[in-house]
Chains A and B, each alone.
Chain A
Amino acid sequence: MVERFPYGKAPFWLLTLALISSLLLVATRQRAAVDRPDISLATFAVQHYAAYKRVLPEFERLHHVKVGLQLVDARALQTRLQNAMLAHAAVPDVVEIGDGSIGYFTRGPLKDIGFLDLTDRIQEGGYRDRIVASRFSKWESRGRLFAVPHDVHPVMLVYRADLLEAAGLRAEDLDTWDAFAAAGRRVLKDLDGDGVTDRYMIDLPSGGGFGLTVLLLQRGVGLFSKTGEVTFNEPRTVDTIVWYLHQVRGAARIATECGWGQPLAKAMNDGVALFYIAPDWRTNLFQTDVPGLAGKLKIMPLPAWEKGGRRTSTWGGTGLAITKQSPHPELAWELAKFLYFTPSELSKRFASTGVLPPFRDAWQLPEFQAPSAFYSGQRLGAEFARLAPDTPPVWDSPYSATAESKLGEAYLRAAEHFDSHGDDGLREVIQRELGVAEAYVRRIIERNGLGGPRE
């Protein structure tokens, strides 16, 4: 029969496949009887998804509703959600949005923001004082709050205690970054004699990346101020970049880039770096990715820039927003409160995700005080809670992506100069590049004629 089909073998088989698949599709479509949920919640993080799946039945029972939980790809969530909101297409009622994205959603005039203004609800519920103050900054635009903060994400260092001890160093001595760098040079080793160093002090990206951002925030330097001004062009940035370049580049470097996922796991197992920058969410990831290192890892606060200075930073964050299009805003707000402000739920979630909530009431609960066998008996909850009030505020802006990109460019130009000329004229180059970066971002901001955030 195939030979008699006049148009060729390919179209024949394609036609057959098309017919079969369309029949199957129709059949499965019928089967998926859509049991429409009353309220839908979308998240992008697998850990959150698993945690919510466990606690949602309780909420459903309490309020006699059905909650539809959905796991969506992070990038898609951002663009799809924004497009859908702007085009008034169907969107979930409650959405977990990721780090830095509030700027994305607030780039136009206030009326275009697809999320409910939650400032008053937070105030009236008395939550304003019970949440770590610095976290509101992440989800505010023009003074109004558009998402409830999920976390604090204080940053510490996770390290291979066994290797540190073997190198004859003590964590207590590493209380400033200068002391850390000096100690670092004693740790470098080529283990298999192939000319490639196999042991470094710390895992830092050679291109700046999260390493630079976290360290800058530790010093209180962010990309934008509360009023939307560009703030990264200042002397502390220059100092930090100079210090950073010395650690990640050049023959005397003490840092290497270990990457993410499986390469990172292998690097940790091999002890390629001793120290890893770890906010609370990362400490949990390590437990799943490198189970073989149980009992060999410990945490310590970040070394300070000056003696007695801030010993933590912040990295990442998730917020819960309610879409304006939701037909059940009050129910959505109940869901938000249930997920984010119920101490018992928060403590159970801490036990599984390791993420410290910004809601201080919860920190007293026993789960936060529990010692972790994986981290040699240290009490992670208590440690992170101790540093939490100190975390620096972060203000996001629609131009954050541009600013970050430009800062990255400035860093890379500085790095190129450092690679070829060392310290000679380095500060001037950095200052010049930062100026160029700032001017560029300023120009983009000034262009905005839509009533978006301006200086």
Chain B
Amino acid sequence: MSARVSTPKQYYRGLAPWLLLAPYIAVTCVFTLYPLANAAVLAFYQTNGPASRAFVGIDNFRFLLSDPVFYRALGNTTVFALCSVFIQLPLSLGLSLLLNSGNDRWKSFFRLVLFSPNLVGQIFVGILFGVLFTPRYGLINRFLQALTGWGLEQQWLGDPALVMPAIVLTALWVYVGFNMIYFLAALQSVDKSLEEAARIDGANRFQVFWNVTLPAMRHVVLFVVITSVIGSFQLFELPLALLPTSNGHGPDNAGLTVVGYLYDVGFNAGDLGLGSAVGWVVALIITVVSVLQLRLAGGGEDE
């Protein structure tokens, strides 16, 4: 629990906290609240950019909730979020375990190497991997062919079934090192004496990990899971860069994410009203998902 020393329930009387928070409040009012209010109103209109608008009531929401493309985007994003949590995080955790149980000379080196993809921006990563996924000549296909004798001509970014795996793979490359660092830190702060005690009691390595170490890392894991999921729902630049010819859609909308859908509707088609409606729905979904996660993790954990 946080080191909250005896907090008396009396409130601070001075202006100090408000002064310190003033920049945040000011900026939020102007650049978040006002546009949000705008977006709230806009959601009930159809617009042609900022120029013309027509009132349509709830038609935007009605269209949105019956649009198969939106559900495809939602599905894609959910799949990506699930892959993030159930593939990427275990990998990060595994790597951090491997790193933790070794001598320091190599540890620093591997930590550096595994984190380095994070230094590259998403747009660069997307285009870079777009080239690496080229059939016949790309690095990945060549590697697959050399390893398994299959896959040289495989169209990663042209096959609807393979687009999401390609995106997951790319995101994996970028983020596995990042989360690994969080887990490493958590591992290092686990009370060694607890682990020792468990081992003396006869538990094998796996049991020690599952019953002692992991629960001790609970807070960090929860933090990482929640931020991963929120981040996954905001996925946008990566598919956009990987699939430039279809504006981030991919074949059969296989690469479309909810934010991508929003951008498409709001900016490419120019209907800011529909875009606002989408934004609200997405924000709602993310909120619900996050609240669910917090509840599942055992109630009321403060950030």
Contacts and interface: CB of A to CB of B under 8 A. Distances in A.
Q: Do A and B touch (CB < 8 Å)?
A: yes
Interface of A: 75, 79, 82-83, 86-87, 104, 107-109, 111-112, 195-196, 205-207, 209, 256-257, 259, 262-263, 266-267, 272, 398, 401-402, 405, 408-409, 412-413, 440, 443, 447-452
A109 B270 CA distance: 13
List 8 tightest A-B contacts by C-beta distance, closest first: A108-B48, A86-B49, A449-B54, A412-B252, A86-B51, A112-B51, A207-B251, A207-B158
Contacts of A408: 251-252
10 contacts: A86-B270, A111-B52, A196-B153, A262-B137, A263-B135, A267-B136, A405-B253, A409-B253, A449-B56, A450-B47
Given A263-B137, A401-B268, A87 B50 contact: yes
B269 interface: yes
Given A82-B270, A408-B252, A257 B48 contact: no
Contact of A450 (B52, B136, B158, B247): B52
A108 B59 contact: no
Contact of B134 (A207, A209, A259): A259
B223 interface: no
A436 to B, nearest CB: 9
Contacts of B59: 447
Interface in B253-302: 253, 267-270
Interface of B: 46-54, 56, 59, 63, 68, 134-138, 149, 152-153, 155, 158-160, 245-247, 249, 251-253, 267-270
Contacts of B247: 75, 401
Given A207-B251, A267-B136, A401-B268, 8 more contacts: A75-B247, A82-B270, A86-B270, A195-B149, A207-B158, A257-B155, A448-B46, A450-B48
Q: SS class of chain A's interface: helix, strand, loop or mixed?
A: helix
A165 to B, nearest CB: 25
A87 B46 contact: no
A272 B135 CA distance: 12
A109 B52 contact: yes
Nearest to B66: A443
Contacts of B249: 405
Contact of A449 (B46, B159, B253): B46
A259 B138 CA distance: 12
B280 to A, nearest CB: 18
Contacts of A256: 153
A86 B136 contact: no
A447 B46 contact: yes
A192 B10 CA distance: 82
B128 to A, nearest CB: 14
Contacts of A205: 158
A349 to B, nearest CB: 27
B134 A263 contact: yes
Contacts of A409: 252-253
Contacts of B48: 86, 107-109, 112, 450, 452
A412 B251 contact: yes
B136 A206 contact: no
B194 to A, nearest CB: 33
A266 B46 contact: no
Contact of B158 (A79, A257, A266, A443): A257
Residue of A109, A256, A450 with most chain B CB atoms under a 10 A cut-off? A450
Contact of B267 (A79, A272, A402, A448): A79
Contact of A108 (B52, B152, B153): B52
A262 B138 CA distance: 11
A144 B137 CA distance: 47
Contacts of A262: 137
Residue from the set A107, A108, A209 with the largest chain B CB neighbour count within 10 Å? A108
Contacts of A108: 48-49, 51-52, 270
Nearest to B161: A416
A402 B270 CA distance: 13
B63 A447 contact: yes
A303 B154 CA distance: 29
Contacts of A75: 247
A170 to B, nearest CB: 29
A266 B149 CA distance: 22
Contacts of A443: 63
B42 to A, nearest CB: 13
A36 to B, nearest CB: 27
Nearest to B56: A449
A136 to B, nearest CB: 24
A110 B234 CA distance: 35
A231 to B, nearest CB: 21
A272 B63 CA distance: 46
A426 B71 CA distance: 26
Contacts of A87: 49-50
Contacts of B51: 86, 108, 112
Nearest to B48: A108
A13 B160 CA distance: 46
Contacts of A86: 48-51, 270
A256 B153 CA distance: 9
A107 B268 CA distance: 11
B135 A257 contact: yes
B155 to A, nearest CB: 6
B251 A450 contact: no
B137 A266 contact: yes
A86 B47 CA distance: 11
A104 B247 CA distance: 14
Contacts of B137: 262-263, 266
B54 A206 contact: no
A50 to B, nearest CB: 23
B252 to A, nearest CB: 4
B56 A83 contact: no
Contacts of A206: 155, 158
Contacts of B52: 108-109, 111-112, 450-451
A79 B268 contact: yes
A75 B247 CA distance: 9
A90 to B, nearest CB: 15
A196 B152 contact: yes
Contacts of A83: 49-50
Contacts of A451: 52
A17 B52 CA distance: 44
Nearest to A452: B48
Nearest to B270: A107
**Could you say which of B152, B249, B268 has the most chain A C-beta atoms within 10 Å of its C-beta?**
B268
A263 B153 CA distance: 12
